[in-house]
Amino acid sequence: MGFIAVLVAAIAGFAVGAAWYISLSKPWLAAAEIPCDESGKPVAEFSPMPFVISGIAMLLVAGMLRHILVMAGIEGVGKSALVGLGIGLFMITPWVAMNYAYANRKRELTLLDGGYSVLGPTVIGLVLGLF
C-alpha cells in the first residue's frame, strides 16, 4: 500500500505543478528569461527530459515525505498536509531562494518557483494523509 500511496502522491504533485506552471507560464517565462517567439512560445527545441526529471523528483519527494510521516507517527490529511507545507516553506523554498540569489536570478522567478515549492509538498502530504 505504501508504494501506491507514494505513486498517487507523486502524480498529484506533478499535476499540481503542471497546473501551476501552465497558469503562470507567461510571467514564469519572462522571469526565467527564456527567449520566446512572436506567439509567446519558447524558441528552444522541446525536450522531454525536464518532465522525466520532474517525475523522478516527485517520486523521491513523495517517498521521503511518506518516510518522514511514518517515522514521526503522523496520520491524517491535515497533519500530513501541514508537514508538507512546512517542508516546502521552511526547507525547499529557502534553498531555492539561496541558489537563485547566488545565480542572480530575478526575484519574480524565486517567488513563482518558491510558490510551487510550497504548494507541491503540501499536496503530496495531503494525498499521503488520505492513505
For the stretch 55-111, pLDDT in tens is: 999 999 999 999 999 999 999 999 999 999 999 999 999 999 999 999 999 999 999
Q: What is the pTM of this model?
A: 0.94
Across the range 109-125, mean pLDDT stands at 98
For 8-31, give the DSSP string. HHHHHHHHHHHHHHHHTHHHHHHH
For the stretch 13-65, pLDDT in tens is: 999 999 999 999 999 999 999 999 998 889 988 999 999 999 999 999 999 99
C-alpha grid cell, residue 17? 505543478
Alpha-carbon distances, residue 18 vs 23, 43, 54, 65, 90 (angstroms): 8, 20, 10, 20, 23
Give percent of the chain with pLDDT exceeding 70. 100
The whole-number pLDDT of residue 129 equals 97
